[in-house]
Amino acid sequence: MNETSKTRRYWGSLEHSVLVGSGIDIGCGPDPITPAVCRFDRMHGDANHITQFVREQFDFVYSSHCLEHMDDPRAALHEWWKLVKPGGHLFFIVPDEDLYEQGVFPSRFNPEHRATFTIFKTASWSPVSLNVRDLVGDLPDSELVSLKLQDHGYDRHLMRHGPDADTGEFRRLIIRAYAFARRRSLPRFGWVEHWQTQTTAIDQTLGSDALAQIQCIVRRGQAMSRPSGSG
């Protein structure tokens, strides 16, 4: 399921009030935040260096599950910040490292992830962990509006923190078959998942309404700024 469509089911007046005026959706794929939003994805350029491709500013910059794919998420976020008009908002969503990666990096569920994220911890099991609170605190003229963990529909009893156990070939076949079925939104079987978590972690966000992520909204101050590229 597309993550933006899944997440917006849980939004209230705050989220909807931010997404007004001109906007850009970074990494939107086939699921843009609004029909009128400016879409930016791989075919449009490298989001790590987005100001080389986008020269204007917007009332809101939105991105869902894209920042974790950036080579340097901290530097990429500063690039995205340059696209926010004074008084506008940066609204982004990333996976929570404990709910999604569950103690293993590189991510067993998405090997394209370059970093993991937490709201704030003094220490992490992940060698590439980033505190979202610190990331937004480094943005100039920024005011944190909202920062929260979203775990709607997530069953913590199904979590398995750390590496998978040696399951044997028969169990591995069953686990792979069940994961294949879930990707196609086939029904969940609780007894299979509870049995599975005795040996291996599962991605509860596949083919379901479960969320395992951090949502952050940041407002830019009124100081004038302009996007700038390297050329």
Query: Quick check: is 162 in a domain?
Result: no
Pairing of strands 58-64, 142-150: unpaired
What tokens were used for 33?
């935040």
Query: Quick check: is 200 in a domain?
Result: no
Query: Quick check: is 26 in a domain?
Result: yes
Query: Quick check: is 187 in a domain?
Result: no
- Which amino acid makes up residue 1? M
Query: Quick check: is 231 in a domain?
Result: no
Query: Quick check: is 216 in a domain?
Result: yes
Domain limits for position 48:
3-155+209-220
| Average pLDDT value over all residues in the chain | 89
Mean pLDDT of 90-114: 96
Q: The whole model's pTM is what?
A: 0.85
The sheet carrying 142-150 orders its strands as 38-40, 23-26, 58-64, 84-95, 213-220, 142-150
Total domains in the fold of the chain: 1
Query: Quick check: is 167 in a domain?
Result: no
pLDDT in tens, 21-38: 999 999 999 999 999 999
We report the CATH number of the domain holding residue 17 as 3.40.50.150
Give burial (CB, 10 Å; 0-12/13-18/19+) of 88. buried
Mean pLDDT of 66-92: 98
pLDDT in tens, 152-185: 999 898 888 888 766 666 666 776 677 777 766 7
Query: Quick check: is 180 in a domain?
Result: no
- Which amino acid makes up residue 44? H
